[in-house]
Chains A and B, each alone.
Chain A
Amino acid sequence: MTSATLRPASVAAAPALRVRGLTLSYDGRRVVDGLDLDVPAGEVTVVVGPNGCGKSTVLRGLARLLRPSAGSVRLGVDGSDDDVWSLRPKEFARRVALLPQSPPLPEGITVVDLVGRGRHPHHTVMRRWSAADDEAVVRAMRATGTLELAERHVEELSGGQRQRVWIALTLAQETGVVLLDEPTTYLDVAHQIDVLDLLRDLNRRQGTTVVMVLHDLNLAARYADHVVALRDGRLVGSGAPGDLVDEEFVARVFGLGSRVIVDPVTGSPLVVPASTHQQSGPSS
């Protein structure tokens, strides 16, 4: 098996999400300012940037949690092209899923019950739970390796297992686009890798468009097909990690001196930070 068969060809397909002139504000304070962005369909897009650069806010804008003060977000999955705000809530929820950073956990809930709540957008007043919902839950739990935990209370699970269950909820929604806000927060390094492997597998197997915010630039470079870098609410660069991430890029986005080498395991760029007080790496 070669990487070519696993990796979707990066042809210029219609973007899953097309953002134009997006301006997002909290109480009149502009956090994202006139952002233009294409999220390629069927790829893993990772949004990076320093703290407070507006990356989570962009995700909220894409997920319709924050109404833009200017600009638009258009959704183009399966040949459709709709302004996200023109869709009814459940219609949107059948196309785009979001996993927030740390959603509150309902007390006493079991794994199956929590995952099943992801089926809500597929229900109507007339049509409640059906066998199709059970099958979707099984698929989501199978993909996340959480079937063994089905009867357990989510409170009893470890952080890594819990995050898998939350992802299973998002997958049970069966959307073409999945947005995740820092899915690796609070996880140790092994579980971070585990969760990101899982998301990439999902993308490779089902062609799900994945957009996530990540803190860690090296994990972003390792898992992204497409990196989007923000600073102060503006786009400072986007592209394949191999083309985009170099020493100059790290300095421009994070104001950090570094050396960028080739990751011996994955072949992706690996950022070795120097110090924020130096603008270039140690003498080479």
Chain B
Amino acid sequence: MTVDWLTRTAAHADARAAAAGPADLARVVRARRRPARRVHLAIAALAVAAVAAVLVRVLLGDYVVALADLLPILRGETLPDAPGASFIVMEAKLPRALVGLLAGAAFGAAGAMFQTTLRNPLASPDIIGISLGASAAAVVALTFLDAQGIWLPAAALVGALAVSLLMYAVGRGTALAGQRMVLVGIGVAALLSSVIQFVMTRTSVQDAQAALVWLTGSLARATWPVIGLLTVSLLVLAPLLAVCSRWMRLAELGDDLSTTLGAPAGRARLGLVVAVALAAVATSATGPIAFVAFLAGPLARRLCGGRASLWAAALVGAVVVVLADFAGDYLIPDVNLPVGVVTGAVGAPLMLAVIITAGRAGKA
């Protein structure tokens, strides 16, 4: 009887092996490439959209610049028939567009990195206290130390890094480090908002006004030194992020499986350090821009057919910030809305939509 049973299951295995053929390899290769192609397409489309958004921001608006005039302006020539155009483009429109592009990309990539590595859609730097760390430091510097110019982003950077160091220290060497980091971050965020509230009640109306504009997130302080700082930071951090994105793909499988697949322990958290740095740099340049880090990942995922891509998330963040800044300037006549107000107003309903549809899709 034992023999019968073993023979039957062995025949079962033979049938499985016999089903194999060279077509299988082709099928697997095709199945592997198709979603990857979708991601590449999405990234290409988003890159085009980002360039288009920058052009719209620079050329259109109250003061329209012709596309043909852009190149001479960029070369530093003064247009004979529109002498003011050069100043407006080089000192106002282009810096704003570039800061929006760079900061948006940094927010988007940082948010996606957090959400994927910690496997938690709430794990976005604006929710777990990193943006608030930057805000609290900036507000304190603004009101008590009278910080101006480049010192304001510097203070914000210190604040964001201090919060992330705290989170890293708490999460270090424990199981469920990711969950702990999120919970600690939410607690720290609550503490820091009360610090900000306190400072705001103790300060002069003028300082409070300036702090408030910073707190909503705005591209109004876009200057060439800020662009330089952002560009250098991104050039350093982007290659690191590319390396980390490979570990991120493993981290998605959970701590146990990623460790037994050979990911050195804690390596995925190194990716989080890079993401923190990105979020900190971006926040220091623009203030916290609501919902961009939080939503860029899920939106990019949708565009990529369900796959997570840091590059797509970065591009979504860039497009969203540049367009939101444009809309904030011109949507309501004679009212300049800071970019954070626009992303907040658009982002909140969008977040609800994402949660509701994700809830439906995740029925299994």
* Chain A contact residues, CB within 8 Å of chain B: 1-3, 6, 60, 63-65, 89-90, 92-94, 96-100, 103-104, 106-113, 116-118, 120-121, 134-135, 137-138, 141-143, 145, 147, 150-151, 153, 155-156, 173, 197, 200-201, 204-205, 264-267
Contact = CB atoms under 8 A, between A and B. Distances in A.
B262 A89 contact: yes
B19 interface: yes
Output the residue of B19, B35, B260 with the most chain A CB within 10 A.
Answer: B260
Interface string B32-46: 101100000000000
Output the residue of B3, B261, B307 with the most chain A CB within 10 A.
Answer: B261
Contacts of B357: none
B253 interface: yes
Interface in B25-56: 25, 27-29, 31-32, 34-35
B306 A120 contact: no
B306 A107 contact: yes
Output the residue of A106, A150, A200 with the most chain B CB within 10 A.
Answer: A106
B13 A201 contact: yes
B25 A103 contact: no
Interface of B: 1-3, 5-7, 9-10, 12-13, 16-17, 19-20, 24-25, 27-29, 31-32, 34-35, 119, 249-250, 252-254, 256-257, 259-264, 301, 305-308, 361-362, 364
Given A106-B252, A138-B24, A63 B260 contact: yes
Contacts of B260: 63-65, 93, 96-98, 100
B253 A117 contact: yes
Given A106-B249, A121-B262, 9 more contacts: A63-B260, A65-B259, A89-B262, A97-B260, A100-B260, A104-B252, A108-B305, A117-B261, A200-B9
Nearest to A266: B5
Contacts of B301: 107-108
A8 B13 CA distance: 17
A151 B307 contact: no
A120 B262 contact: yes
A73 B263 CA distance: 20
B174 to A, nearest CB: 10
A173 B260 CA distance: 10
Given A3-B3, A108-B305, A265-B1, A197 B253 contact: no
Contact of B28 (A64, A118, A120, A134): A134
